[in-house]
Amino acid sequence: MNPEPAHVEFDGVSKSYDGVTEIVRDLNLAVREGEFLTLLGPSGSGKTTCLMMLAGFETPTSGTVLIGGRAVDDVPPRRRGIGVVFQNYALFPHMTVGRNLSFPLEVRNLRQADIRERVQRALRLVRLEGFEDRRPDALSGGQQQRVAIARALVFEPSLVLMDEPLGALDRRLREEMQYEIRRIHRTLGVTIVYVTHDQQEAMAMSDRVAVFNGGRIQQVAPPETLYEEPERVFVATFIGDNNLLHGRVLGVEQDICTVDTGNDVVSAFLVAPRKVGDAVTLTIRPERVALAPTPGTFSNEFEAPIEDIAFLGDHLRVRLAVCGSADFAIKIPNTVGHGAVLKGDHVRIGWTPTDCRALTPDEEIA
């Protein structure tokens, strides 16, 4: 185990508003010092509730939240010293940018000269020098979010929480701000816990991502691991595209199992501890399926008719009916010209067992 204590720790945390439905269920998660950790999940998966419990705006129904190794159950939000950035910016509309930034410093009774200096430094950090006398309503959305970020950092917290901070921005601005936030994170070395439902944003920014669904963490891992080695079907489909095949285990040989999908037998990499006869869900990324391979290249090779072809610019998306799936997608890079295959063609496809992961069906995981 990691000997250095976690900066933030959720220890068996559950949250229910009505005593019946649990928004967050038995959550265990540790955030390392200086880490950029993203809570990723669909809306209603409990990720924002986790953030609010960490900030102190919500109280866990059971379990404990620890910051720096200390339980913070009895610490009100204003004593936690955590910077928080909301999706709607939540700038004080009746104060100038400068007053917004000096607010947390005045609360801490800093000297005026000190306050001015720190406000200037924070504005430089978010590249908004000279904006201190503007009112928030005179700023663009991206500028307002920069001010909100500067305000969450100006009192030098070691932990900053961001709740979908880029959700209200258009795509171009969002990518620019992703880069800015990463730059600030690298510059300051603060711990950032970030909430988003956008898997691309999570992949682009995070050291690690915790994937939420139904109030539970499905998997916590660096972005590459989540993509390449998903441990749950939900993760496999939520992060990037994936094909799902359903079947039963016919045989197991070390890491590789053979699976009966109804009319075809597929060999796959056995991730879950499944035995012969158990149900499994197989996942294969569309870009890992080869079209028309030299016969005998793969242990998984099938012939199937092309149901549909969609031209998506940099690649073609070909839909086939194979191995019991009517909606099996493969991606062909747009390098060979897209006249190569046509709808209705019978084509041969193949993939290696290691790209095909056999997982426990989600229904069997309570």
Partner 1 sequence: MKGGIGRNLYLAFCVAVFIFLIAPILVVVPLSFNAEPYFTFTEGMLRLDPDAWSLRWYRSVAEDIEWRRALVNSIVIGVCATALATVLGTLAALGLANPAMYGRSLVMTLLISPMVTPVIVSAAGMFFFYSSLGLAQTHVGLILAHAALGTPFVVITVTATLAGFDRNLMRVAASLGAGPWRSFWRVQFPLIAPGVISGALFAFATSFDEVVTVLFMGGLEQRTIPRQMWAGIREQISPAILAVATLLIAFALFFMLTVEWLRRRSARAAEA
Tell whether residue 314 is a contact of partner 1 (CB under 8 A): no
Residues that contact partner 1, how many (by CB under 8 A): 28
How near is the Cβ of 107 to partner 1 at its closest, in Å? Answer: 4
The reply on whether position 165 binds partner 1 by CB under 8 A is: no
Min dist. Cβ of residue 21 to partner 1 (A): 16
88 forms part of the interface with partner 1 (CB under 8 A): yes
- Residue 60 in the binding site for partner 1 (CB under 8 A): no
Distance, CA of 171 to CA of 189 (rounded, Å):
26
Among 30, 66, 75, 90, binds partner 1 (CB under 8 A): 90
Q: Which two tokens stand for residue 9?
A: 């720790």
Asked if 94 touches partner 1 (CB under 8 A), the answer is: yes
Say if CB 147 and CB 136 are below 8 A apart: yes
Scanning 99-107, 235-243, 251-259, 311-319 for contacts with partner 1 by CB under 8 A, the matching segment is: 99-107
Comparing CA positions, the residue from 159, 128, 158, 132 lying closest to residue 145 is 128
Taking each helix axis from N to C end, the angle separating 112-125 and 97-107, rounded to the nearest 10 degrees, works out to 130
Q: Give yes or no for a contact between 206 and 182, defined as CB atoms under 8 angstroms apart.
A: no
21 is a contact residue toward partner 1 (CB under 8 A): no
To partner 1, the closest distance from the beta carbon of 190 in angstroms equals 14
Nearest to 43 by CA among 141, 145, 176, 167: 167
Establish if 92 lies at the interface with partner 1 (CB under 8 A).
Answer: yes
Instruction: Note whether 80 binds partner 1 by CB under 8 A.
Output: yes
Find, among 26, 23, 48, 24, the residue nearest to 38 by Cα.
48
Between 83 and 286, CB nearer to partner 1: 83
Q: Is residue 343 within the footprint of partner 1 (CB under 8 A)?
A: no
Distance in Å, CB of 246 to partner 1, minimum = 43
C-beta closer to partner 1: residue 110 or 173: 110
- Quick one: which of 25, 146, 151, 216 contacts partner 1 (CB under 8 A)? 151
Nearest to 57 by CA among 210, 166, 191, 161: 161
Alpha-carbon span 14 to 27, nearest angstrom: 6
Q: Does 167 bind partner 1 (CB under 8 A)?
A: no
Q: Is 225 helix (H, G, I), strand (E, B) or coil?
A: helix
Which position among 55, 211, 320, 356 is part of the footprint of partner 1 (CB under 8 A)?
Answer: 55
Q: Judged by CB under 8 A, which of 37, 50, 84, 149 binds partner 1?
A: 84
The answer to whether 18 contacts partner 1 (rule: CB under 8 A) is no
Distance CA 221, CA 234 (A): 14
CB atoms within 10 A of CB 75: 14
φ, ψ of residue 283 to 5 degrees: the values are -120, 135
Residue 78 binds partner 1, judged by CB under 8 A: yes
Among the listed residues 145, 156, 164, 165, the one whose alpha carbon sits nearest the alpha carbon of residue 187 = 156
Among 19, 76, 295, 339, binds partner 1 (CB under 8 A): 76
> Which residues of the chain form contacts with partner 1 (CB under 8 A)?
55-57, 76-84, 86, 88, 90, 92-94, 103-104, 107-108, 135-137, 151-152, 155
